Chains A and B, each alone.
Chain A
Amino acid sequence: GAVVSQHPSWVICKSGTSVKIECRSLDFQATTMFWYRQFPKQSLMLMATSNEGSKATYEQGVEKDKFLINHASLTLSTLTVTSAHPEDSSFYICSAEGGRGSGANVLTFGAGSRLTVL
């Protein structure tokens, strides 16, 4: 089945620094990937849609200059949290559509990246 790899799983950083999270589709090509954020005991909130070769589409209220998304290839999307602050501490999850065995409409999720900003 489809596999999405997300790295790093855990990251702790100082306030003001930037953190990059990678999302890879391992055995299929993903023209579109989605980035979600999840706070404790809350559901997944869609942050942005990452499109290969073009600009990401951000949801209302998500700062595009703070959460930089790059989708340079059909198997890799990156999310960079710039000038991170403690309120950015969250669980960030990427997902990709498709892949053999998953069904064309099914999103496969990465394992998530837990960011803690000190």
Chain B
Amino acid sequence: GQNIDQPTEMTATEGAIVQINCTYQTSGFNGLFWYQQHAGEAPTFLSYNVLDGLEEKGRFSSFLSRSKGYSYLLLKELQMKDSASYLCAVRDWGGATNKLIFGTGTLLAVQP
């Protein structure tokens, strides 16, 4: 089976840096994704890691360690509009199809 854990909620200050951690256990790992979701809207893609290391994309960076089953999403220069849920998702190779399994999500509140 799969198990993906994230903190439920986090609070940070505008302009600061925040790191959202994700740990996972899966039988057939085939990549890890981070999505952003504002309330009532569909998730939007942020980043993808399949090899160990750091992927940087503007204010957002994502890190992966496959041996530790661990990833984090780093948000720099926080803006109020970054207040949203951040979903860690693992692509699990189920034999015939890759499935994307989501963690519980981390609700980030950015304060002035």
Contact = CB atoms under 8 A, between A and B. Distances in A.
Interface of A: 6, 32, 34, 36, 41-46, 49, 51, 57, 91, 93, 95, 97, 102-103, 105-112, 114
* Residues of A contacting B: mostly: strand
B99 A34 contact: yes
Contacts of A112: 40-42
B83 to A, nearest CB: 15
Interface in B93-111: 96-105, 107
Contacts of B69: none
Interface residues of B, number: 23
Given A102-B45, A110-B42, A112-B42, A46 B87 contact: no
B91 interface: yes
Q: Which 7 A-B pairs have the closest CB atoms?
A: A109-B42, A43-B105, A44-B102, A43-B102, A43-B104, A112-B42, A111-B42
30 contacts: A6-B42, A32-B97, A34-B100, A41-B107, A42-B105, A43-B87, A43-B102, A43-B103, A44-B87, A45-B102, A49-B97, A57-B96, A97-B98, A102-B45, A103-B48, A105-B48, A105-B50, A106-B45, A106-B48, A107-B33, A107-B45, A108-B45, A109-B42, A109-B43, A109-B44, A110-B42, A111-B42, A112-B40, A112-B41, A112-B42
A44 B4 CA distance: 12
Nearest to B103: A43
Contacts of A106: 33, 45, 48
Contacts of A110: 42
A95 B91 CA distance: 14
A7 to B, nearest CB: 13
B87 to A, nearest CB: 6
* Residue of B33, B96, B102, B103 with most chain A CB atoms under a 10 A cut-off: B102
